[in-house]
Structure formats: C-alpha cells, structure tokens
Amino acid sequence: MPYVMPYTAFVMRKTSVYLDDEQADRLARLALAEGRPQAEIVREAISCYRSRPNRDRNFALAGNFERIDADSRSISEIPEDELMRGFGE
C-alpha cells in the first residue's frame, strides 16, 4: 500500500536502498551541502538516470563490405579478444 506523504500532494511508495559506506557518506554530504533531504536527492537522481546503451555486437556497417579473409563468420560472431588480436603490437 502506498505511503501518503502528509506534506505533498503526491502519493509515494516507501522503499529501502542499500548503499555502501562511500555512497552513504556522499549522499549525506550532498544533502547537507544542498540543504535538501537525502530522499529528495535519490528521487532526483533516479529521474535523471539514463540507461547505458546496449553494447550490440551486430555491426551493421560491416555487412556492406566484402571480407578480405577466409573466415566465414560474421563479425558479431567473432570473440572480442580475437578481433583485437594484433592491435597495439
């Protein structure tokens, strides 16, 4: 059942978040420096969060070029360590 905050018109659900010591200290410092509740900072951070793009291994550009080797696998099927072999040597 949602927890109704008495000082706001919004209905909010109470939840717990586990933070390590460094994260908890940082959150406390941010709240103190900004003069805001820790919960408000967490809510704002969640609102601003953007997931990282998926590292899709389907290289569309490679499909338009002729291979110069005898490997019949598509580039997306070749393990990364094999693709990187020879770079930096």
pLDDT tens series, the chain, 89 aa: 555 555 566 688 889 999 999 999 999 999 999 999 999 999 999 999 988 777 666 655 555 667 777 888 877 888 888 888 888 76
pTM over 0.75: no
Q: Cα angle at 17 between 16 and 21, to 5 degrees?
A: 135
Exposure b/e, 6-39, CB count within 10 A at least 16 = b: eeeeeeeeeeeeeeeeeeeeebeeebeeeeeeee
Backbone angles phi, psi at 3, to 5 degrees: -90, 125
